[in-house]
């Protein structure tokens, strides 16, 4: 099993790992592009902070702090990606309380889509940063015109996914890929071609009784919570003698976490709806 997650804007500060300038960008097939993006972002934030606030889509309430964070990206301490992201999904996943075997499984099972680093393994060291996938950054690929990071990463990730996710191109199909990415990240890249047969896009919904009718909605906060709960359940299943290899296995893990799972799609292009039902008396 492999699980693709969105990042979170909320991140833990600090870290005790070496900086990227000290340790480099590792041996990932994405290392070169990561270095190019990180250097371009830091230079942009330093040289034209007002333009960077707009192009990087930094929220006004935190813009100056986020600029400083991005400017320091190459020299800041690092920590594992799974500990760096602390938004709603990651709070529900609660990595710190995972049993040791489940945390070890997370390190080679979970992958986080990210505007600055493309696709991060859960154990990969990452500094604090604020770089959206929809951001535009000048100075990439030798061009002065801004580049949309989503387009850059879409082109670089598509050929690299077999190596990143299954470690070898000829191993495509050996792992179920549970795709929990949000809409901003789901096409960066799309799981198309041979990988689509291994992919399971999951939609997280909320079901609530309103005026006597059960209505389902993809509410953002609850959807993130649901994805975190599902991810935790999948890791616990994997380390509890219940390997996750099929849509039915994902549905069983979801139900073990108190969620409702409804398979959809076709045998060759399955999807899954995972629903949180809210007590109508609350």
User: Around Cβ 35, how many Cβ atoms within 10 Å?
Assistant: 14
User: Around Cβ 264, how many Cβ atoms within 10 Å?
Assistant: 12
pLDDT in tens, 36-81: 999 999 999 999 999 999 999 999 999 999 999 999 999 999 999 9
pLDDT in tens, 75-108: 999 999 999 999 999 999 999 999 999 999 999 9
Q: What share of the chain has pLDDT > 70, as a percent? A: 96
pTM over 0.75: yes
Q: How far apart are CA 39 and CA 33, in angstroms?
A: 10
pLDDT above 60 for 281: no
CB 272 within 8 A of CB 250: yes
Q: How far apart are CA 33 and CA 12, in angstroms?
A: 24
pLDDT in tens, 152-188: 999 999 999 888 887 644 444 578 999 999 988 999 9
Q: What SS3 string covers the chain?
A: CEEEECCCCCECCCCCECCHHHHCCCCCCCHHHHHHHHHHHHHHHHHCHHHHHHHCCCCHHHHHHHHHHHHCCCCCCEEEHHHHECCHHHHHHCHHHCCHHHHHHHHHHEEEEECCCEEEECCCEEECCCCCCCCEECCHHHCCCCEEHHHHHHHHHHHHHHHHHHCCHHHCCCCCEEECCCCCCCCCCCCCHHHHHHEEEEEEEEEEEECCEEEEECCHHHHHHHHHHHHHHHHHHHCCCCCCCCHHHHHHHHHHCCCEEEEEECCCCEEEEEEEECCCCC
Q: How far apart are CA 120 and CA 106, in angstroms?
A: 12
């Amino acid at each position: 099993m492999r699980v693709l997650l969105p990042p979170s804007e909320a991140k833990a500060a600090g870290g005790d790992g070496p900086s990227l300038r000290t340790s480099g960008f590792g041996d990932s097939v994405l290392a070169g592009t990561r270095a190019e993006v990180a250097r371009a972002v830091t230079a942009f934030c330093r040289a034209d902070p007002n333009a960077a606030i707009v192009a990087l889509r930094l929220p006004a309430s935190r813009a100056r702090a986020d600029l400083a964070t991005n400017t320091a990206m190459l020299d800041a301490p690092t920590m594992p990606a799974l500990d760096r992201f602390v938004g709603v999904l990651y709070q529900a996943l609660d990595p710190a309380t995972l049993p040791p075997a489940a945390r070890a499984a997370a390190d080679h099972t979970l992958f986080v889509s990210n505007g600055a680093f493309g696709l991060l393994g859960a154990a990969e060291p990452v500094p604090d940063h604020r770089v959206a996938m929809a951001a535009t950054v000048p100075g990439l690929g030798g061009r002065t015109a801004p580049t949309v990071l989503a387009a850059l990463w879409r082109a670089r990730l598509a050929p690299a996914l077999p190596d990143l996710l299954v470690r070898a191109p000829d191993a495509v199909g050996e792992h179920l890929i549970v795709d929990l990415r949000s809409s901003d990240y789901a096409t960066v890249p799309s799981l198309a071609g041979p990988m689509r047969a291994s992919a399971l896009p999951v939609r997280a919904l909320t079901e609530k009784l309103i005026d006597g009718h059960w209505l389902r909605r993809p509410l953002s906060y609850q959807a993130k919570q649901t994805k975190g709960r599902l991810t935790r359940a999948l890791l616990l299943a994997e380390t509890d003698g219940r390997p996750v290899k099929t849509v039915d296995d994902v549905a069983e893990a979801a139900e073990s976490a108190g969620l409702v799972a409804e398979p959809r799609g076709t045998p060759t292009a399955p999807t899954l709806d995972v629903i949180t039902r809210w007590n109508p008396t609350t």
